Amino acid sequence: MSASVGDDDDVQMNMTPLIDMLLVLLTFFLVATTLKKVEKEMQVELPVSASAVEAPKEDPTLVIAVNREGAVYLDAQPVTTEQLHASLRQAAAANRERRVRIDGDRLTPFQNIVHVMDLCQFEGLTNLGVHTMDKK
């Protein structure tokens, strides 16, 4: 019995699954690198607290940071007092129970934090929290 191998047929490799996997991996790495936490980029040295607790992740928290010099940042973007007023007014109009987290540098004068708290309360946002570091 003899069998013919058929050397005259061209053997081609199907590249479609390989390209599909390459695109899936590329998409994964692009998404994974852009979803880093914005708060980690802020140069705010948080105060230490012995009773620090982790905030719930399910609600969208409005993050206001105050650095050492007293400059105010809203979601990692520098803002003026007028811009902060407008943003807080919009947030209060959408949801008065929205959680506001204040990240104040431990070396900033407390008056800067009180000013931000006053602005929040003036616009009707009373669900305020202060972000601290866990004492380790």
23, part of any domain = no
Is the pLDDT higher at 48 or at 127? Answer: 127
Number of domains in the chain: 1
Tokens of 96: 């008065």
Task: Tell me the pLDDT band of 56, cut-offs 50, 70 and 90.
Answer: low
Q: What's the confidence (pLDDT) of residue 132? A: 72
4 belongs to a structural domain: no
Band the pLDDT of 134: cuts 50, 70, 90.
low
Please check the confidence at residue 16 and state whether its pLDDT lies above 80. Answer: yes
- Given pLDDT bands bounded at 50, 70 and 90, which one contains residue 118? very high
Range of the domain at 83: 39-134
User: According to the model, what pLDDT value does residue 84 have?
Assistant: 92
The answer to whether residue 18 is domain-embedded is no
Q: What is the DSSP letter of 36?
A: -
Task: Give the alpha-carbon dihedral of 106, 51, 38, 27, to 10 degrees.
Answer: 160
On whether residue 122 sits in a domain, the answer given is: yes
CA 108/CA 85 separation, integer angstroms: 21
| 88 belongs to a structural domain | yes
- H and E: helices and strands count for the chain: 3, 7
Question: What's the CATH code of the domain at 110?
Answer: 3.30.420.270
Whether residue 22 lies inside any domain: the answer is no
